[in-house]
Amino acid sequence: MLSVAEFDKLAEQVSNWGRWGADDERGTLNLITPEVVRKGTAAVVTGETFSLAMSLSLDGPQNGVGVRGRINPVRTMLAVNTPMSPSPDSAAYSDDIVVTPTQAATHWDALAHCSHRGVMYNGVPADAVDASGATRLGIESAGTVVSRGVLLDVARHEGVDVLPERFPVTRAALEAVERAQGKPVEEGDIVLVRTGQASRFLAADVPGYRRSVPALDHDAPLFFHERGAAAVAIDNMPMELLPSNVEDVVLPVHILCLVMMGMIQGQNWVLEDLAAACARDARHTFLLHATPERFPHSTGGLVNPVAIR
C-alpha cells in the first residue's frame, strides 16, 4: 500500500505542468510531431486495418447506475424509406438518432474528465468544468489523434488469454513486455495495453467484463512518462485497479495520467484481433488513428480507433 505522501511524490515526478506553456490544453499529445506521424506511417507494412471499437448499442457494457446516467447507447429511426417526392422515381431516405454517453463504450477520457484537489491538468481549476461542460480541457482540445501505436500484450506475455482478476499491470510488467517484444516505446507513441479482458465482453459476459478486472497499477504512469507516450489505451473499463493500491486514493492512475501528465487515456478498447495479428509476425507497431468525435466541451471522446499494420 502506497501512502498518500509517496503518491504525491510520484505525482510530482510525472508532472508536465507548464512544460508546454501555461495555457496548454493538449498535454502529451504535443509529443506527436509531424516526424512522429511519419514514423507511424512508416510502420505500415501490409496495409491491413483493424477497428478497435466496441459496437455502440444496448448490448454495451453499461448499466446506467455504476456511473450514474451512463446508459448504453439507444439508436432509433427518424425516418424509414420516406419518399422524397410523390414520384415513384424519386429516392426514399432513412435516418436515425442516437442517445449515448460519450464514455459509453470505446472512448478517450478528455483531460477534463478528472480533477484532483480542485485542479485539473496544468493547474486549471476544477470548476472550469461546470453544468455547461468543459470550458477548458474538453475533448476538442485534443484535435487530431494520429501517431505510431505500440501494443504491449501483457496477457500474451503472461501466457494467458485473460490476465487473472485484479492482476496489477505495473511499470515493471510493462517494461518486461516491452523488452520481450524487442521494440522500445518511443516519444510520441500511443501505447495500447492488452489485458485480454475485452474477450469477456466479446463473449457477451458483461458481468465478467466489469468484475474486479486486471488493470494498471499506480506506478504504470511512470513507464508512460519515461518513454514519452503521447496517450495510452486499455481493453477494460476502469483502466486501473479498483480499489487501488494507494491509501485513500481512488483512481490514482487517472490522477497521474490526466491531471499530472496531461495524457488522455482510452478505455474499453478491443485489442483481440490486432493482438493476434501482431503475435503472428511479431510486429507490434502500427499507424494508429484515434481522433475523437468533436463534441465541444465534452469530457469524453467517442472514437472508433483504427490500427493500420
Subset of residues 229 to 248 that bind a second copy, contact rule: CB under 8 A? 248
Distance CA 202, CA 206 (A): 9
Site residues (CB under 8 A) for a second copy, limited to 2-41: 4, 7, 33-38, 41
Candidates 29, 134, 163, 192; binder of a second copy (CB under 8 A) is 134
Site residues (CB under 8 A) for a second copy, limited to 137-156: 140, 143-144, 146
- Nearest Cα residue to 211 out of 169, 254, 172, 167: 167
Candidates 19, 74, 179, 183; binder of a second copy (CB under 8 A) is 74
Verify binding: residue 184, a second copy, rule CB under 8 A.
no
Q: How far is the CB of 294 from a second copy (least distance, A)?
A: 5
- The residue among 83 and 164 lying less far from a second copy, judged by its C-beta, is 83
Using DSSP, state whether 90 is helix, strand or coil: coil
Verify binding: residue 302, a second copy, rule CB under 8 A.
yes
- The residue among 77 and 202 lying less far from a second copy, judged by its C-beta, is 77
- Nearest Cα residue to 163 out of 224, 60, 235, 61: 235
Verify binding: residue 180, a second copy, rule CB under 8 A.
no
Verify binding: residue 108, a second copy, rule CB under 8 A.
no
H or E segment at 41? helix 34-42
DSSP string covering 150-176 = EEEEHHHHTT-SSPPTT-EE-HHHHHH
- Residue 118: φ, ψ to 5°: 85, 5
Number of residues this chain uses to bind a second copy (CB under 8 A): 103
Amino acid occupying residue 13: Q
- The residue among 171 and 297 lying less far from a second copy, judged by its C-beta, is 297
Candidates 79, 202, 203, 276; binder of a second copy (CB under 8 A) is 79
Residues whose CB falls within 8 Å of the CB of residue 292, separated by 6 or more in sequence, listed in order:
107, 108, 139, 142, 145, 301, 302, 303
